[in-house]
Amino acid sequence: MNPSIIPNGLNCMKDMIKIAKLICSVAVCLLIGFLGSFATMDSVTTWYAGLSRPSFTPPDWAFGVVWPILYVMMGISAFLIWDEGFDRREVKIALGIFGLQLILNGLWTPIFFGLHLIGTALVEIIMMWIFILLTIISFWKVSKPAALLLLPYILWVSFAIALNAGLFFLNK
């Protein structure tokens, strides 16, 4: 047996595992967005359409463009952390915080669009923003590129907080 074949085979296997981890990371993030879309289906054209909106509200289609891009970036970011080695304590902590902010991300849509609780959604999205910031800080300690990939996300959520607050105050 040619010994040079084995290292190449191992490298190929490592590459396949990395690709699988990347796909898994992105898929989990996209799944959160997909599940949230069920809460918006009926509400966007009915309840949400009837709300008074702030002047800076983007067109409805913009959300369908921006969120998938952010979810992919979040997934890539999580992959970069996971790829640093799940046996490392700081990786586990960082991914744990990431998981918490992802859960909060997934809860906002049903709270806002499903239950029509604008004020509760505002409190929830502020909590989500805090956990996104904590995620960025914890990711920075492990992988600076992973942390930087989350900057558009926290900026968009900052805008979403202003939008949510505007909706709350205009529709009390």
Give the domain CATH number at 108: 1.20.1260.100
| pLDDT tens track for 44-80 | 889 999 999 999 999 989 999 999 999 999 999 999 9
The average confidence (pLDDT) of the chain is 93
Global confidence as pTM: 0.91
pLDDT at 3 > cutoff 80 = no
Q: Please name which of 102, 78, 106 lies closest in space to residue 92, comparing C-alpha atoms.
A: 78
Q: How does pLDDT run across 100-147, given as a tens digit for each residue? A: 999 999 999 999 999 999 999 999 999 999 999 999 999 999 999 999
Domain hosting 144: range is 5-170
Question: What secondary structure does DSSP assign to 1-51, as a single string?
Answer: --TTHHHHHHHHHHHHHHHHHHHHHHHHHHHHHHHHHHHHHHHHHTTGGGS
Report the share of the chain in percent with pLDDT over 70. 94
Total domain count, the chain:
1
